[in-house]
Amino acid sequence: MLEVEGLIAGYGSIQVLHRISLRVERGQSVCIIGANGAGKTTLLRCLAGLLRPSAGRIAIDGADIIGGSASTRLDHGITLVPEGRRVFAPMTVRENLEMGAYRRLWPRRDRGVPADMDMVFDLFPRLAERQKQPAGLLSGGEQQMLAIGRALMSKPRLMLLDEPSMGLAPRVVQDIFATIRRLNAEGMSILLAEQNANMALKSAAWGYVIAEGEFVRDAQSDALSSDPAVKAAYLGL
Amino acid sequence: MHAGSAILQLLVAGIGTGSIYALIALGFNVVFKSTGAMNFAQGEWVVMGGMISALLFASTHNIGLACIAAVVIVSVIGILSERLVVWPLRRPNALLITLVSIGLAICSRSLVMMILGKKPVGYPGFSEASTLFVGGIAIQTQTLWIVGLTLVFLLAMHLFFEHTIMGKALRAAAADRDAAAIVGVRVETTVMLSFAIAAFGGALAGALITPLTLSSYDQGALFGFKGFSAAMLGGIGSLPGAIVGGLALGLLEAFGSFYISSDFKDAIAFAVLLAILFARPAGLLGRADVVKV
């Protein structure tokens, strides 16, 4: 459903991504592993319409979308769970979820939004308990749930997740990844960027290895997990 | 005059001017929320509200129509100001927008002087009877209009920010621009909207106060400073803070100029500003920002 070819992007005169190409099939779960600063966040920001690439092609279901903004990406069913969660700290949990559905509430109101909010509350009962609290008072794990919940409120078909394990306790990381696998099992396409290669390769079917803005390997996750070079560089084995 | 009625009289006067300060402070707070900047053109919009109302009143003789039209015109001027001055900034940040707003204030003042003239202008109050006597004190009917319409406007703002998706989008953009963009909010539009609201509040203040004080092109800086002090006093960025700060400043001025000296009336705002910056920089209702990294 997502095809990227020869993507080049950067900030000002600094080029970060050098001719990146990747594919995510419908319902597939794909991960990108690599060290800090390898270009994972830059890539996801391009895909989410937050950063304009200088060259290349991004297509969703065959339609070119490279010039679009974040709003048009959302209309195409692409949503981003950003690095560091980035919840709206002074706003309540419920308001954060409403904001996730912003494109479906403005300018035209989608009647399905309340039902989707109930679905998010079913998925994360902790959020239902705390729906009137300011998001800034939640724990890190709860904020990550909220960030995923907010992304779900846009009714996406492809969810981009940037470092969902960052700064979280191992138990909480397990829960978050279980949720990601569950969403994938229910049909959501997933593109996940992670430093925690171990967790990422366990939950994705296909993996790309990124280093200095280029993909250096890509293969089935199982194959990558047992690759000696990947093991040594990213799995700490 | 009886001491009790003197106090009541001062209370009414203080609440009247305090409401005006609250409207101006709200303008500072709304722009601060969406950009992190202090908009020093805020006071000029007060002057424009009063002077354009006077101009329209002179040609239409319909005070309601003149004031409504003036407030709408100044709101459009607020939008244009943002589009012409803030929007073109390639890398907007709070300091840059604050500095640019000082330039905007100076340009606006000169334009008002050139187009509307240097002469102070005014028009009668909104009601026929200008003064009511209640329980031994004299209340100007315009003061009642000021307090009433300020309440209506602040209530409308509260409903907008808490209960509409657009208002929530403004708060979201203020909380985290990047995250707001991720959910599809056009952040530049929210900045433009905040300038429109700020200009609306300022112009409303100007249209309401002119029957009591007249209006002239050079009052903007003082209005701006009073509103700024009120906003700082209440807690910058806080909407209830604008009301608390505005009323507190209005009452301090009313009582201060009566019991100390009316020569000190304007100095009180500056003394309050200094005191609050020393003692409680976050303001009465503000709280220090908790940033979780």
- What long-range pairs does B6-12 form, CB within 8 A, spacing at least 24? B6/B258, B8/B135, B8/B136, B8/B137, B9/B137, B9/B138, B10/B251, B10/B254, B10/B255, B10/B258, B11/B251, B11/B254, B12/B137, B12/B139, B12/B143
**CB-based contact B248:B284 (threshold 8 Å):** yes
- Nearby residues of B291 by Cβ (< 8 Å), 6 or more positions away: none
pLDDT of amino acid B293 = 36
Rounded-to-integer distance, Cα B220 and Cα B109, Å: 8
Report how far residue A182's alpha carbon sits from residue A29's, in angstroms, rounded to the nearest whole number.
Answer: 11
Spatial contact of A81 and A56, defined as CB atoms under 8 Å apart: no
Range of the domain at A88: 2-235
DSSP B59-127: HH--HHHHHHHHHHHHHHHHHHHIIIIITT-SS--HHHHHHHHHHHHHHHHHHHHHHH-SS-B----SS
Does the structure show a pLDDT above 90 at B265? no
How many domains are there within chain A?
A: 1
Judge: A82–B179 Cβ closer than 8 Å, yes or no: yes
CB-based contact, A150 to chain B, within 8 Å? yes
Whether B171 and chain A come into contact, CB under 8 Å, resolves to: yes
- Are B184 and A74 inside 8 Å of each other by CB? yes
CA A221, distance to chain mean position in Å, is 18
DSSP state of B215: B
Residue B37: strand, helix, or coil:
coil
Q: What is the pLDDT of residue B292?
A: 39
User: Which element (helix H / strand E) includes A55?
Assistant: strand A55-60
Which of A194-198, B90-94, B200-204, B270-274 tops mean pLDDT?
B200-204
Inter-chain contact A88–B185, Cβ cutoff 8 Å? no
Label residues A163-195 b or e (16+ Cβ within 10 Å = b).
Answer: bbbeebeeebbebbbebbeebbeeebbbbbbbb
Q: Does residue B279 or residue B114 have the better pLDDT?
A: B114
Whether B184 contacts chain A with CB within 8 A = yes
pLDDT class for A237, splitting at 50, 70, 90? low
Strands A158-162 and A78-81: parallel
Quick check: B41 pLDDT over 50?
yes
Query: pLDDT band at residue B64, thresholds of 50, 70 and 90?
Result: very high
List of residues 6+ apart from B198 with CB closer than 8 A: B26, B27, B28, B30, B31, B39, B42, B45, B78
How buried is residue B206: exposed, middle or buried, by Cβ count under 10 Å (0-12/13-18/19+)?
A: buried
Residues 6+ apart with CB under 8 A from B250: B13, B14, B15, B16, B17, B18, B19, B20, B21
Residue A160: strand pairing partners:
A80, A191
- A230 — pLDDT class (breaks 50, 70, 90): confident
| Integer Cα distance of B139 and B212 in angstroms | 12
Mean pLDDT of chain A: 95
Q: What pLDDT was estimated at residue A83? A: 96
pLDDT band of B5, cuts 50, 70, 90:
confident
pLDDT for position B207: 98
Kindly report the CA angle at B156 between B196 and B168, in degrees rounded to 5? 70
Residues whose CB is less than 8 angstroms from the CB of residue B94 and which lie 6 or more positions away in sequence, other chains included? B35, B36, B37
Are A154 and B184 an interchain contact pair (Cβ–Cβ within 8 Å)?
Answer: yes
Inspect the interface and report whether the beta carbons of B292 and A136 lie closer than 8 Å.
yes
Cβ-Cβ contacts under 8 Å, B285 against chain A = none
Handedness of CA A122, A124, A129, A134 (dihedral sign): negative
Q: Which of B176, B181, B292 is closest, CB to CB, to A50?
A: B181
- pLDDT tens per residue, range A97-144: 999 999 999 888 999 999 999 999 999 999 999 999 999 999 999 999
Q: Domain spans of chain B?
A: 17-120+140-279
> Residue A160's closest CA among A52, A36, A60, A10?
A60
Name the one residue in this structure whose structure tokens are 């008072």. A137
The answer to whether residues A71 and A103 touch, using CB atoms and an 8 Å cutoff, is yes
* Inter-chain touch A86–B176, beta carbons under 8 Å: yes
Chain B interface, best mutation among A79, A83, A88, by max B CB count within 10 A? A88
Q: Which residues, in sequence order, are bridge partners of residue A9?
A: A17
Which chain B residue is nearest to residue A96, measuring alpha carbons?
Answer: B172
Tell me if chain B has a CB within 8 Å of the CB of A106.
yes
Strand, coil or helix: A24? strand
Token readout for A17 is: 């991504």
Pairing of strands A206-211, A189-194: unpaired
For residue A117, give how far its alpha carbon lies from the nearest alpha carbon of chain B (Å).
Answer: 15
What pLDDT band is residue B26 in, cutting at 50, 70 and 90? very high
Please state the ipTM of this predicted complex: 0.94
User: Out of A46-60, B88-102, B107-121, which region has the weakest mean confidence (pLDDT)?
Assistant: B88-102
Cβ within 8 Å of residue B67, ≥6 positions away: B53, B56, B57, B126, B207, B208
Q: Which residue of B has its CA nearest to A83?
A: B179
For the four alpha carbons of B269, B275, B277 and B280, in that order, the dihedral sign comes to negative
Amino acid at position B192, single letter? M
Confidence band of B287 (pLDDT split at 50, 70, 90):
low
Q: Which residues of A touch B184 (CB under 8 A)?
A: 70-71, 74, 102-103, 154
Q: Which residues from B are below 8 Å from A91, CB to CB?
A: 168, 171-172, 175
B162 touches chain A (CB under 8 A): no
Contact A74 B183 (CB under 8 A): yes
The percent of chain B in helix, strand and coil, each rounded to the nearest 5, is 75, 5, 20
Q: What is the pLDDT of residue A233?
A: 84
Q: Does B288 touch chain A (CB under 8 A)?
A: no
Chain-chain contact of B182 with A95 (C-beta, under 8 angstroms): no
Work out whether the CA dihedral A96, A102, A108, A110 comes out positive or negative.
negative
- pLDDT of the residue at B285: 81
What residue has token string 């031994």? B136
Judged against a pLDDT cut of 90, whether residue B284 lies above it is answered with no
pLDDT at B28 over 50: yes
Distance between CA atoms of B33 and B237, rounded to whole angstroms?
5
What's the CATH code of the domain at A29? 3.40.50.300
Are the beta carbons of B176 and A74 separated by less than 8 Å? no
- The answer on pLDDT for B290 being more than 50 is no
Question: Over the stretch A142-183, which tens digit does the pLDDT of each residue have?
Answer: 999 999 999 999 999 999 999 999 999 999 999 999 999 999
Using CB atoms, which residue from A79, A86, A98 is nearest to B179? A86
Q: Which residues of A touch B292 (CB under 8 A)?
A: 89, 136
Could you tell me the CA-to-CA distances from A112 to A117, B118, B212 in Å, in that order? 9, 58, 52
Query: Is the Cβ pair A150, B183 closer than 8 Å?
Result: yes
One-letter amino acid identity for A160? Answer: L
Residue B240 pLDDT > 80? yes
Q: In which element (H, E) is residue B141 found?
A: helix B141-163
Q: Cα(B60)–Cα(B57) distance, rounded to whole angstroms? A: 5
For chain B, the distance separating the N- and C-terminal CA atoms, rounded to the nearest angstrom, is 60
Residue B258: pLDDT over 60: yes
What local confidence, expressed as pLDDT, does residue A110 receive?
A: 93
pLDDT in tens, A196-213: 999 999 999 999 999 999
Q: Which pLDDT belongs to residue B288?
A: 52
Residue tagged 């209370």 (tokens): B11
Which of A45, A51, A102 to mutate to probe the B interface, most B CBs <10 Å? A102
Does B195 have pLDDT greater than 60? yes
Residue A70 Cα, gap to closest chain B Cα (Å): 6
DSSP result, A73-120: HHHTTEEEE-TT----TTSBHHHHHHHHTHHHHSSS--TTHHHHHHHH
Q: Does B166 touch chain A (CB under 8 A)?
A: yes
Measure the CA–CA gap between B25 and B46, rounded to whole angstroms.
11
Within 8 A of B182 by CB-CB distance, chain A residues are 48, 50, 70, 79-80, 82, 86
Residue B279 has pLDDT above 90, yes or no: no
